[in-house]
Amino acid sequence: MTTDSKITLDAAVQFLWMEADILDRNDFDAWLPLWHGGHYIIPIGDDVTDFANNLNIAYDDADMRKARAARLSGGFSISAAPPARTVRTVSRFVITEEAPGAITIRSALHVVEDKFGRQRMFAANVEHKLIATENGIRITQKVVRLLNSDGMLTSISYLF
């Protein structure tokens, strides 16, 4: 894939399903290289667009993503010991922007978490900004808009 290649809906969906599988396996060493700069964001509130100047559950650049992955996989975070087991379902893919070598796609995400014999379910609308690189599709921004995000300031021991 070249940097000016069109990213098709099928290619984007396959990429998002792969990302969900990687996250369900807690394989952060495989997840981190899927990024090309940008931010991983979980805002508080549905209508927030100025992420840098508002409170977020997560607003991670490359260094923060790497540090978060290290905490989650290294046992340094009490909320991640033991790690939660998750199953993600990604669906309802809608292209919201297209340009040569870039696509913005919105999807629905359901995450079932199992930890300490208890299951919780989370739902979110997710927006991925993807670009074509010589190494394949990469994420430049991911915004996870959790339903009831303002009630979610409890420990979340994984990445969406």
**β-bridge mates for residue 87, sequence order:** 112
Contacts of 158 (CB under 8 A, 6+ apart): 23, 26, 72, 80, 83, 84, 86, 113
Strand 56-60 with 85-99, pairing: unpaired
Give the pLDDT band of residue 117 (cuts 50, 70, 90). confident
Give the pLDDT band of residue 92 (cuts 50, 70, 90). very high
**Which string of b and e fits 123-158 if b means at least 16 CB within 10 Å?**
ebbbbbbbbbeeeebbbbbbbbbbeebeeeeeebbb
Q: Which amino acid is at 9?
A: L
Mean pLDDT of the chain: 89
Residue 67 host element (H or E):
helix 62-74
At 11, list the tokens. 């290619």
Give the pLDDT band of residue 10 (cuts 50, 70, 90). very high
Task: Give the pLDDT confidence of 131-156 residue by residue, as tens digits.
Answer: 999 999 999 999 999 987 666 555 56
What is the model's pLDDT at position 47?
A: 87
Task: Give the pLDDT confidence of 50-80 residue by residue, as tens digits.
Answer: 999 998 989 999 999 999 898 888 755 555 5
> Is 2 exposed, middle or buried (CB count within 10 Å of its CB: 0-12, 13-18, 19+)?
exposed
* Domains of the chain listed by start with CATH number: 9-151 (3.10.450.50)
At 80, list the tokens. 């991640």
